[in-house]
């Protein structure tokens, strides 16, 4: 097991194009007059983060704070504009549990498609198939197109696949939040048991209770900057302070 | 998998690693395409047949092109041309259609245009069934020259994949290409001997047309199909070599364009 992620001085810049309708004439004029049509937006700024083998780290932060961008870097979907990203070990290449689902295909087809997107052969997925269906408790719906699934069923199947493919670094996003209580508890158990095998876990959530439960380290992102990295309680306090939000106990 | 170490060889290895995914994306396309249609996969057989029927009626009954067993000739050229034009036309929207996957799953993006060409290849292979029946009906049953078919198919697949790679990548940056491609494909179709023969156009003696014919990469490729399927003889070495060189050369050039731009696609999708 060697699931390490190392970010060094990472910055990610997006160009934000203004979504206003321009005529062809204006477009041509802009070309020649070098008018700026895009604003730079730094989704991540100078982030240094080391996630060591076997750690479970939660990423928290407001909407748009850069959590997904960070996951995209780790998964290899996105290259940093500045700095370096190094990943050792097999990482699930998906930043969302059900990212590879095609709504028109059946649950069964989607299990194999998702497996292939993660680099597993049909044969390997066949071995896992029964376990995945059993865990998701979707046996009677497995030959139905997933567009007819409820969002909870979607999440079940997505998690069941991700939990069975044995990555060395597991990315778990907040899709779990839509599962029912019983299934959520089942997922928590599963994540804990995966964790106990030495798998590195990166967990993204807005549910602070699950963050406390699963992670021994929490990184707080705020407008693209890593503002805190440490134990869960002070991290959650920092996050709420930055948001100026104090939930009633 | 992380920092930009995009040596072409390792990129190719990476694509090869996901070959099974390409197969599944092809299957996905076919399943979704024919879902809830009564005839299902039969449409893949019927499409070229109906197209051939229309062209045959127009060009042998009304315009009188004067080619023996015209439906066989037409179908022999129409199959590779359809593979090429359908691939390229759809390639323009290919990465955009798969944007949600590209934004969330780190697999080599080359799998998407490859799957597109793959699904058109399935169409071509299925179309060989009606082609064979029609060839027998018109007294040109399969002969030894049909053995050249795999090589001809390889050439058209390589060529289509190369152009599709380049077009799919460029369209991400310049969306206008989508509209341009369909018009250019139509012009290209009429400049390529599909509905008329190579000799007919060469004998017109127009310098521009003859020049266009010689530099048209689609001409030798389509001609390979017509020679082995319609005329019943193996293509001459020059035609075969031209078809293969254009195929492989275009594939490499298109792939190079694609791989160079790949990391930047996500920023524009």
Q: pLDDT tens digits, residue range B207-217?
A: 888 888 889 99
DSSP H or E run through A221:
strand A217-222
How many whole angstroms separate alpha carbon A67 and alpha carbon A47? 12
Candidate from B20, B28, B107 with C-beta closest to A105? B28
CB atoms within 10 A of CB B253: 14
Q: Rounded mean pLDDT of B2-8?
A: 49
Region for residue B69 given its phi and psi (left: phi exceeds 0; alpha: psi -120 to 50; beta: otherwise): left
How many whole angstroms separate alpha carbon B265 and alpha carbon B174? 11
Q: Which residues of A touch B262 (CB under 8 A)?
A: none
Confidence of residue B268 (pLDDT cuts 50, 70, 90): confident
Contacts of B121 (CB under 8 A, 6+ apart): B83, B153, B157
- Is the separation of the CB atoms in A198 and A226 below 8 Å? no
Instruction: Provide the pLDDT for residue B4.
Output: 43
Q: Residue A82 class from Cβ within 10 Å (0-12 exposed, 13-18 middle, 19+ buried)?
A: middle
Question: Which residue, chain included where needed, has tokens 């009633």?
Answer: A248
Percentage of chain B beyond pLDDT 70 is 97
* DSSP class per residue in B115-146: HHHHHHHHHHHHHHHHHHHHHHHTT----GGG
Q: Which residues of B touch A112 (CB under 8 A)?
A: 24
A87 with B1: Cβ contact below 8 A: yes
B2 at the A interface (CB within 8 A)?
Answer: yes
Partner residues linked to A170 by β-bridges = A201
Choose between A35 and B259: higher pLDDT: B259
pLDDT in tens, B18-39: 999 999 999 999 888 887 777 7
ipTM score over 0.85, yes or no: no
Mean pLDDT value across chain B: 90
Instruction: Provide the pLDDT for residue B3.
Output: 39
pTM (two decimals): 0.88
Instruction: Provide the pLDDT for residue A16.
Output: 74
List C-alpha distances in Å: B242 to A235, B74, B103: 66, 22, 39
Candidate from B18, B24, B107 with C-beta closest to A112? B24
Partner residues linked to A82 by β-bridges = A11
B2 with A96: Cβ contact below 8 A: no
User: How is residue A94 annotated by DSSP?
Assistant: B
Choose between A9 and B66: higher pLDDT: A9
How many whole angstroms separate alpha carbon B125 and alpha carbon B139? 21
Which residue of chain B comes nearest to A112, CA vs CA?
A: B24
A-B C-beta contacts closer than 8 Å = 75
Q: Which residues of B touch A96 (CB under 8 A)?
A: 104
Residue B13 has pLDDT above 90, yes or no: no
Q: Which residues of A touch B18 (CB under 8 A)?
A: 116, 119
Partner residues linked to A200 by β-bridges = A169
Percentage of chain B beyond pLDDT 90 is 64
User: How is residue B227 annotated by DSSP?
Assistant: I
B24 with A86: Cβ contact below 8 A: no
Q: Which of B269, B252, B268 is nearest to B11 (CA)?
A: B252
pLDDT in tens, chain A (249 residues): 578 999 999 999 988 766 555 566 666 776 666 655 667 889 999 999 999 999 999 999 999 899 999 999 998 899 999 999 999 988 877 788 888 899 889 999 999 999 999 888 899 999 999 999 999 999 999 999 999 999 889 889 998 998 888 788 988 877 667 778 888 888 888 888 888 888 999 999 888 988 998 899 999 999 999 999 999 999 999 999 998 888 876
What does residue B9 show for φ and ψ, rounded to 5 degrees?
A: -65, -50
List Cβ<8 Å contacts ≥24 apart for B55-63.
B55/B195, B59/B195, B59/B196
First to last CA, chain B: 21
Residue B147 has pLDDT above 90, yes or no: yes
Residue B5 has pLDDT above 70, yes or no: no
């Amino acid at each position: 097991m060697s699931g390490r992620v190392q970010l060094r001085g990472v910055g990610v810049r997006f160009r934000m194009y203004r979504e206003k309708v321009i005529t062809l004439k204006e477009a041509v004029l802009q070309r020649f007059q070098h008018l700026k049509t895009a604003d730079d937006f730094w989704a991540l700024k100078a982030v240094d983060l080391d996630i060591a083998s076997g750690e479970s780290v939660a990423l928290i932060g407001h909407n748009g704070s850069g959590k997904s961008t960070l996951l995209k870097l780790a998964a290899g979907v996105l290259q940093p504009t500045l700095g370096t990203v190094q990943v050792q070990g097999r990482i699930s290449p998906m930043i969302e549990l059900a990212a590879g689902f095609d709504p028109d295909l059946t649950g069964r087809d989607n299990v194999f498609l998702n497996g292939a997107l993660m680099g597993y052969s049909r044969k390997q997925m066949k071995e896992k198939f029964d376990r995945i269906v059993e865990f998701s408790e979707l046996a009677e719906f497995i030959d139905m197109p997933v567009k007819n699934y409820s969002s909870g069923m979607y999440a079940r199947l997505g998690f069941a696949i991700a939990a069975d493919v044995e990555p060395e670094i597991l990315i778990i996003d907040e899709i779990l939040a839509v599962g029912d209580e019983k299934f959520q508890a089942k997922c928590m158990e599963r994540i804990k048991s995966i964790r106990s095998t030495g798998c590195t876990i990166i967990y993204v959530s807005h549910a602070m209770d699950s963050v406390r439960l699963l992670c021994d380290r929490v990184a707080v992102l705020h407008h693209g900057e890593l503002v805190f990295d440490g134990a869960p309680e002070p991290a959650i306090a920092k996050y709420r302070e930055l948001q100026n939000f104090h939930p009633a106990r | 998998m992380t920092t930009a170490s995009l040596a072409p060889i390792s990129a190719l290895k990476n694509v090869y690693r996901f070959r099974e995914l390409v197969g599944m994306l092809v299957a996905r396309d076919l399943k979704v395409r024919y879902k809830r249609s009564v005839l299902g996969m039969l449409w893949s057989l019927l499409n070229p047949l109906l197209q051939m029927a229309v062209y045959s009626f127009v060009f042998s009954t009304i315009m009188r092109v004067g080619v023996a067993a015209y439906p066989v000739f037409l179908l022999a050229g129409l199959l590779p041309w359809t593979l090429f034009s359908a691939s390229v036309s759809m390639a323009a929207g290919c990465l955009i259609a798969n944007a949600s996957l590209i934004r969330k799953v780190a697999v080599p993006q080359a799998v998407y245009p490859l799957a597109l060409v793959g699904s058109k290849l399935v169409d071509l292979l299925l179309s060989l069934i009606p082609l064979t029946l029609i060839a027998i009906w018109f007294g040109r049953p399969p002969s030894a020259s049909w053995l050249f078919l795999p090589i001809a198919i390889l050439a058209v697949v390589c060529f289509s994949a190369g152009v599709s790679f380049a077009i799919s990548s460029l369209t991400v940056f310049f969306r206008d290409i989508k509209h341009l491609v369909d018009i250019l494909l139509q012009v290209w179709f009429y400049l390529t001997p599909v509905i008329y023969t190579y000799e007919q156009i060469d004998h017109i003696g127009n310098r521009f047309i003859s020049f266009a014919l010689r530099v048209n990469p689609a001409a030798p490729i389509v001609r390979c199909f017509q020679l082995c399927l319609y005329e019943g003889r193996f293509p001459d070495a020059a035609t075969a070599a031209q078809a293969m060189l254009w195929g492989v050369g275009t594939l490499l050039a298109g792939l190079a364009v694609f791989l160079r731009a790949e990391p930047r696609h996500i920023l524009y999708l």
